[in-house]
Structures are given as structure tokens and as C-alpha cells.
Amino acid sequence: MMTLDPIMLARIQFAFTISFHIVFPAFSIGLASFLAVVEWRWLATGNDLYRDIYKFWVKIFAVAFGMGVVSGVVMSYQFGTNWSIFSDRVANVLGPLLGFEVLTAFFLESSFLGIMLFGWNRVSARMHFVATCIVAGGTLMSAFWILSANSWMQTPQGFTIAADGRLMPTDWLTIIFNPSFPYRLAHMVTAAYLSTAFVVGGVGAFYLWNKQHMPQARIMLGMAVMMAALVAPVQLFIGHLHGDNTLKYQPAKIAAMEGNWDRTSHAPLYLFGWPNQAAEKTEYGITIPDGASWILTGHADGVIPNLKSFPPEDRPMAAPLFWSFRVMVGLGVLMILIGLTSATQYARGKLFESRWLYLWWMAMMPSGFIALLAGWFVTEIGRQPYVAYGVIRTAQAVSPALVGPQVAWSLLCFVVIYILVFGAGSYYILKLIRTGITAPEEAGTYYTHSTEASVIKSIKPGADHV
Amino acid sequence: MFDFSPYLDLPLIWGVLIATAILLYVLLDGFDLGIGILFPFAPSDKCRDRMMNSIAPFWDGNETWLVLGGGGLFAVFPLAYAILLPAFYMPIITMMLGLITRGVAFEFRFKSSEQSRRLWDYAFHFGSLTAAFSQGVILGSFVQGVQITGRNFSGGVFDWATGFSMVTGMAVVCGYALLGSTWLVMKTEDVTQDWARRAASYVLIFVGLFMGVVSITMPFLNPKISTFWFSTPNVFYLMPIPVATALSFFFIWRGLRTKAEFTPFLLSLAVFLMGYLGLGISLYPWIIPFQYTLWDAASSGPTLSLLLVGIVPLLPIILSYTAYSYYIFRGKASHEHLY
């Protein structure tokens, strides 16, 4: 019988469940803020196009948020089921961060979401806007705490190790604002905004291409163009600062990202290559000489870390890290390009005549999510072989009573259910996009039976509620 | 680093807070899981729409108490978290899968076509059923105790599967169905309400039976529980709990007969509260029954103090806006006025 390694399976299960999960909160963070802006524009200008946009995207938001919630519950229990040693050792330090996430964010979001989705004819327009803003604020608050906790695992500080191996807090501010946290928070929230912008822009472009809902679609694409042109370049800069921080605190991760095994100075920038862990070299390289040294230090002869200076058991897997990084940066560059191109076309008054540009925007729809996942692969694979960097090894963190078949079973269950459930979720989101912006009267017959029908009816001014 | 432990018994305070969070979870998610359990038995699709609508604005907030329970246990009693979760591995995973399938059904049901809606109806039902049963199983095996070596669970993969945990599993399913049906009596009218009333009276019998079986079995599980309940003077002090439970049962039954709208639900909550109290004081001061106490399993003073500073202002705020949300969506979940 083949042996099932519980550690490897538990790692795969965590990677699988969290990768599925993160897409939805990221989308929710972006969409909630987007909806707040749209509702604000509607209240401020009285322009009903914004109302149409709001009521269209709020349906998609509801689906994405629901999937984020249910896949998130899994996270808060999986630490215990599969990683009990980790939980026992770090809870004194990380516990409050996760606790505060629930107390300051989750309750806020879930309670006011009800009002946001179903409260149209029960609260005033102003109160409804407040609810939208509270939900948007809640998503950001949640990002604050969870990224603080994740960053602490990358750059743990502010603790001592007790005699029994448990970590005890010594300074809360150092724990919460650990060295990599500000960069990771900025990078992730910006990534969430950009990912959402590319979905919104892609949908706008899709409608423009099909000549449907043109006035609303122009606003969607216009807002997305602004984000891409202004924020995508900023994201590159934030990412660069984040990299500098990683260079200081997790040099092995940087070495793997650059595929650098032995150079100290004059390290080349690999545009392509295949890091071979066993042979300890990067094969098939296409390089820019001195490129990596120049980017990381500002000098062609700058000294950068190399993998061979770390014992083999302390090195992260270089190949997936190296490639995830290139996917992320490549997509980032494409985002900047499309942003600048679209802004130029806009300035020339030709944005809404360039059909080739619509195609490009449609193709870019998933780009944000792919880049975001790739970025997380970089940072999480780069944290290995530690679960708390330099303090607790992943292999020592797993629950001792866990046996292989048990994890294989749960992993299989998660894979099957997630593919079915989130496949259906994506299908319904696409269906909503295909259906487009429906006038209240056009809503399906069944739909008018539901509470959500109240959303549609009440958005329409002068709708007859009786 | 501030630390209140010289002045306050932090593990005890936190034991009470976590117990309260779990109770709130059981009461709140209890009724919406209960509606899922009853879902396929409703007389028509229109009834099902109303049942779903009566909980759609709340289920998400209700489930957040479960996240607080998990996150809270991790933060406050990490030893219990690290021992109990691996011990209940399989029921916890099935609970998660159940909660996922039922949770997404809320959104998908209203967005699906006529044919696939049936699929989500069943996803909602079986998800709710699985989650409720798994929670009951976890409860039962928690009360029975788990095998521990040092700071780790050291038992087997199927230790949780006992006769007793199966009974508590079914007990929780019936209990949630009672909460769900009496909630519907309160929040719906006409056909749905009549049906809910009938469902509640059937379910009430099963809840009584299961509560009786569990209460009789409990003292046999551990001599500490039986001495606690049956020694004098405890037996007199504790008498109000079974008496109040019996009275609640009687008045739920009468409320259903007299077509009262609010009392059946409120008294169902009281039945749960009594059951929970009875269980809680039987197990006090153990957080892992008969092996580790609240004080053994608690986090450090600074950790508990920081969290206390957070929860003291935040809990009242959370409870107020939760109450506000229930107030906004007060009244019957009727949508006749929308046509």
C-alpha cells in the first residue's frame, strides 16, 4: 500500500483551501469599496446610471461574499485540526490578532451585509449608504488583522520562547506592526482593488463590445481605466518596497525569486530559466547581466543573497517560487500597459471607439486574481521550510495524532465540494454578467418572489410597493 | 505589557465569555440550521421561499459566532483548541462541508433556474442536517472525554463515534428543528405558519425524548457528574433547572395549541439555555472534561488581558448592532406586498 504522508497532505490541504478562499475576500474587499463609491456618486449626483451599476454589482458581491464566508470558516478550524502544535505554540501571540479580526470585522460585515442586500425598503437611502460603507470598512479591517497575523508568521517579532516551547508575547505593538506588515498590507489591499478593477473593467468592455448597457458600461470601464492607469504603477512601486523588506528579513526567499544559487555580486536578472533544486543551479537561463543586483541594490555590483549560502534543509523550493514571481510581475506589467494605453486613448477621446482595447480588457479580467494568487505563492512558499519564519518548522507544527488516510479523506472531500460549490458560484456570477443590467420589470418571474426582489423594486424610484 | 491577572481571574472570565459565545451560536445558528433541516418537508415552494427569506438577512451574522467560538478558543484556551480539534477531526470536517453547501445555497437558490433550484434546496437541507448532526456528535464526544498524552490528543481517528455521540447528534438535530419551526411560527403566517406549528409539535416530542435520554445518561458517564447532581444540598439548588425545562416544554405545547406567536420560540430558547446550563455546570471547571481545567488550558495573562480590553467595549457594540439588524427585519417574512 502506498504511504500517505500526513504532513505533505496537510500542507496541500491548507494550500488548496486557502487559495480557493483568498480569491473571494480579495474580490469582496475591492467590490465593497467600489460599491461604496458608486452609491456615493448616486446619492451625490442623482444619476440613475450609478444606481443601475450598484444593483448589478451588489448581486455579484452577495455571491462572492457568501463564498468567502463559508470558505473562511474552514480556515479558523483548520489550524486546530491539522496544525495543533503550531496552534499550541503560537496562540498566545497570534490569538488576539485573529480574535480582533472576528470582533472588529466579521460581525460588522455580516450584520450590515443583511441591510446592504435586503434593507432597501426598510432603511433610508442614507442609512443604506452607511451600511455599504460599514461593510467596506469591515473588509479593510479584516485585511488589517489577517495580514498582520500572516506577516508575523513571515517576520515574527515581539515574543520570547518559554521553557515548554510556547511563544509568549512581550510587546503587542511590535507583534502587530511587525516588519513586513505595512508592506504586505499595502500590497494586498492594492492587489484586491486592482483585481476588482479588472473584473469591473472587463465586464464593462464586454458590454461595450456587445453594444449593451453602453452608458453604464462606459462608467465601469472608465473607473477601471483610472484604477489601472494610476494604481497599477503604484502597485509596482509598493511591490518593490515589499521586496526590499523581504531582502532584509527573508534573504533566502529573494535568492529563490531571483534563481540565484551562487552569485554574490553582479547577479543577473533571469527573464526565463528553470531552477533545479538538486543540481543547485538555474538552467536554460535567459538573463540580463547584473539585472538582479541592480534592481535590489541599485548597483550592478550590489551584493544579493544566494541559495547556496543557506543549508539545503533551510532553502525554499526555488522553481515554483521563481515562476510564481514572474507570473505576478508579468501580469503587473501588462496591467500598467493596458492602463497607460487606455488612458492615452481616453485623452485622445478614442477610448470608446477602440474595439481592440475592449478585447484586451476582456482578456485581462482574471489577471488580477492570477497575479494575486501568484504573489501569495511567492510569499508562502518562500516562508518554507518554516511555518513561523526561523522559529517553528512546518514539519514540526502538524497535529501528532494525524494519520495519512484521514487527511487524504478530508482533502478529497474539500476538493470535490469546492469544485462543485465554487464552480457553481463562478457559473452564477458569469450568468449574472451575461444577463446584464436588468430593469426591474424584466427580472425573472421566480425572482420577484424573493426578498431580493425588494432590492430591485425599491431601487427604482417611484416603484409601487403595495 | 499590561496584565490584569493579579487582579482578575482571567481564565474564569474568559471561560464564561467563550461559553456565552458558543451558547449564542447555538441559539442563533440553531434556528436557521433548523429551517434547513425542515426545508424539504414544507408544503410548497412558496413556503420554502418564505422560510429562506425569514433568515436570509441573519444567517451570516449567526454563523460568525461559530468563527468567534473557534478563533476565541484558539486565542484564549489554545491547549483545548489544540487537543479537541484533532480529536474531532472527522465531525469537524463534515460540519464545515455541511456549512459550506448550505451557506452557498442561500445565494444560489435565488439565482438558479427552475430545474437546478431543487438541487440547492437539497444542498441547503443536507448541509444543514450534516452540520447540526456533526455539532451534536462533537458535543457528545466532548462530554465523554478524549485520550490525551501530554499536550496532545493521542486517540484514534474514530474515537468520536460512540453510541452516546450518535444520540447527542440526533438530539441536536431535533433541537435545532424545534428552534427553526418555532422561529417560523413567529416570522411567517398563513400556510407556512400552520405547517410550522404542526412541525413544532411533532419535533417537541422528540426533543423531550432525547433530552431525557441524554440527561439520564450523563451521570453514568462520570461519577463526578452524578455526585454533583445527586448529593445534598446540590440536588435542591439544581432543582430549578429540570423544573424550568419541564415548564418550558409545557408552555411551548400550550403556546402551539393556543396559536401564540412568540412564546414557542422564546421558550424553545429557554429549553436550550437550560440544557446548556445543566451541561455547563456538570462539566465545570473542566474545559477538556476531567483532564484539564480552564486554568490549565488558558493563555498567558497578557494575551487574556489584551483580548479583554478589546471585548469589553466591542461585545456590547456587536450585540447592539446585531439587535438593530433583527429590529430592521422585524415582522413577518411575508412578501405579498412586493408583487
- How far CA A293 is from CA of A95, A266, A277, A373, B229, in Å, comes to 39, 6, 22, 26, 74
Q: Which residue has the cell 547577479?
A: A267
Q: Alpha-carbon distance B143 to B288, whole Å? A: 8
Residues ≥6 apart with Cβ < 8 Å to B153? A84, A399, A400, A401, B83, B84, B86, B87, B146, B147
User: Chain B partners of A176 at a C-beta cutoff of 8 Å?
Assistant: none
Query: Looking at this protein, which amino acid is placed at residue A251?
Result: P
- How far apart, in whole angstroms, are the C-alpha atoms of residue B310 and residue A296? 41
CB–CB contact B71 A76 (8 Å): yes
- Does B330 touch chain A if contact means CB atoms closer than 8 Å? no
Flag whether residue B25 sits within 8 Å of chain A, measured between CB atoms: no
pLDDT at B336: 39
Residue B327 above 80 pLDDT?
yes
B-interface mutation test, from A92, A121, A146, most B Cβ less than 10 A away: A92
Q: Cα–Cα distance between B96 and A73 in angstroms, integer?
A: 7
Closest CA to B152 of A118, A200, A345, A83: A83
CA distance A409 to chain B (A): 9
What's the pLDDT band for B338 if we cut at 50, 70, 90?
very low
Q: Which of A69, A98, A115 comes nearest B75 by C-beta?
A: A98
Residue B9 Cα, gap to closest chain A Cα (Å): 17
Using only C-alpha atoms, chain A has a radius of gyration, in whole angstroms, of 24
Residues B111, A446: C-beta atoms closer than 8 Å: no
What's the pLDDT at B88? 94
- Yes or no, beta carbons of B68 and A106 under 8 Å apart: yes
- Judged by a CB distance cut-off of 8 A, whether residue B78 touches chain A is yes
Question: Could you report the per-residue pLDDT of B119-138, keeping only the tens digit for each?
Answer: 899 999 999 999 999 999 99
Q: By the CB < 8 Å criterion, does B20 face chain A? A: no
CA distance A198 to A158: 38
Residue of B nearest to A21 (CA): B100
Chain A residues whose CB is inside 8 A of the B105 CB are: none
pLDDT over 70 for what percent of chain B? 98
CB–CB contact A88 B79 (8 Å):
yes
* H or E element in which residue B94 lies: helix B89-111
Q: Which three cell numbers, joined as nine digits, stand for A93?
A: 501571540
Question: Please, what is the end-to-end C-alpha distance for chain A in angstroms?
Answer: 68
Q: What single string gives the DSSP state of each residue in A421-434? A: HHHHHHHHHHHHHH
Contact B85 A81 (CB under 8 A): yes
B131 interfaces chain A, CB cutoff of 8 Å: no
User: In which residue ranges of chain A is pLDDT below 70?
Assistant: 1-2, 439-466
Residue carrying C-alpha cell 480588457: A361
Query: Sorting pLDDT into bands at 50, 70 and 90, what band is B334?
Result: low
Cell of B138: 462533537
**Cross-chain Cβ contact A401/B87 below 8 Å:** yes
**Is some CB atom of chain A closer than 8 A to the CB atom of B36?**
no
Judged by CB atoms closer than 8 Å, whether chains meet at A84 and B83 is answered as: yes
- Which residues in chain B touch residue A409, judged by CB atoms under 8 angstroms apart? 90
Q: Which helix (H) or strand (E) element contains residue A160? A: strand A159-161
Residue A412's CB is within 10 A of a number of other CB atoms, namely 12
Cβ-nearest to A118 among B57, B101, B310? B57
Residues of B in contact with A452 (CB under 8 A): 110
Element (H, E) at B121: helix B114-144
Nearest CA in chain A to B123: A421
For residue A92, list chain B residues with Cβ-Cβ distance below 8 A: 78, 299-300, 302-303
Interface of B with A in 137-196 (CB under 8 A): 151-155, 157
Contact predicate A250/A155, CB 8 Å? yes
- The confidence score (pLDDT) of residue B227 equals 85
Is B197 in contact with B252 (CB distance < 8 Å)? no
Determine whether the interchain pair A96/B303 forms a contact, defined as Cβ–Cβ distance below 8 Å: yes
In Å, how far is A391's CA from the nearest CA of chain B?
18
Interface test with A, best of B303, B304, B322, B326 (most A CBs within 10 A): B303
Q: What is the mean pLDDT of chain B?
A: 90
Handedness of CA B25, B28, B33, B37 (dihedral sign): positive
Please judge whether A453 and B108 are an interchain contact, meaning their C-beta atoms are less than 8 angstroms apart: no
Residues of A in contact with B298 (CB under 8 A): none
- Cβ distance of B110 and A450 shorter than 8 Å: yes
Q: What's the pLDDT score for residue A439? A: 61
Cβ–Cβ contact B60 with A under 8 A = yes
Task: Please answer yes or no on whether B86 and A80 come within 8 Å at the CB atom.
Answer: yes
CA distance A335 to A354: 17
User: Three cell numbers at B125?
Assistant: 437541507
Q: Is residue A416 left, alpha or beta, with left meaning phi > 0 and alpha meaning psi from -120 to 50?
A: alpha
Task: For the beta carbon of residue A464, count every other beta carbon within 10 angstroms.
Answer: 9
Least confident of A318-327, B222-231, B235-244: B222-231
Residue that has been written with the C-alpha cell 528553470 in this structure: A274
Contact across the interface for B104 and A72, Cβ inside 8 Å: no
Angstroms from A286 CA to nearest CA on chain B: 46
Furthest-apart CA atoms within chain A: distance in Å = 76
First to last CA, chain B: 60
Tell me the CB-side half-sphere exposure of residue B76, using CA atoms within 13 A: 29
Q: Which residues of B touch A124 (CB under 8 A)?
A: none
CA distance A128 to chain B (A): 12
CA–CA dist B293, B304 (Å, integer)? 16
Side-chain half-sphere exposure of B325, counting CA atoms within 13 A: 27
d(Cα A358, Cα A352) in Å, to the nearest integer?
A: 9
B99 has pLDDT over 80: yes
Q: Does pLDDT of B77 surpass 50?
A: yes
pLDDT given for residue A220 in this prediction: 93
The pLDDT value given to residue A442: 38
Q: Which of the 8 DSSP states describes residue A365?
A: T
Find the CB nearest B307 among A96, A114, A428: A96
Residues linked to residue A269 through DSSP beta bridges, in sequence order = A288
Stated as kind and residue range, the H or E segment containing A169 is strand A167-169
Per-residue pLDDT tens over the stretch B169-223: 999 999 999 999 999 999 988 889 999 999 999 999 999 999 999 988 888 888 8
Residue with cell 485623452: A347
Q: Is B75's CB within 8 Å of A96's CB?
A: yes
Q: Do B1 and A171 touch (CB under 8 A)?
A: yes
Q: Residue B321 is nearest to which of A102, A111, A402, comparing CB atoms? A: A111
- Statement: residue B252 has pLDDT above 60: yes
Please, which residues have CB within 8 angstroms of residue B249's CB and are 6 or more apart in sequence? B204, B208, B271
| Residues in B touching A447 (Cβ below 8 Å) | 110
pTM, two decimals, is 0.89
Residues of A in contact with B100 (CB under 8 A): 70-71, 73-74, 417-418, 421
CB-based contact B15:B281 (threshold 8 Å): no
Q: Average pLDDT for residues B210-238, to the nearest whole number? A: 86
**Which residues from chain A sit within 8 angstroms of residue B337, using beta carbons?**
465-466
Which among B58, B76, B97 has CB closest to A95? B76
Identify all chain B residues contacting A115, using CB atoms and an 8 Å cutoff.
57, 325, 328
Q: Which residues of A touch B313 (CB under 8 A)?
A: none
Of B133, B336, B324, give the one whose Cα is nearest residue A111.
B324
Q: What is the pLDDT of residue A2?
A: 58
Residue B314 to residue A104, Cβ atoms within 8 A = yes
Residues 6 or more apart whose CB falls under 8 angstroms from that of A416 comprise: none
Task: State the count of interchain CB pairs (< 8 A) between A and B.
Answer: 263
Asked if A158 contacts A174 with a C-beta cutoff of 8 angstroms, the reply is: yes
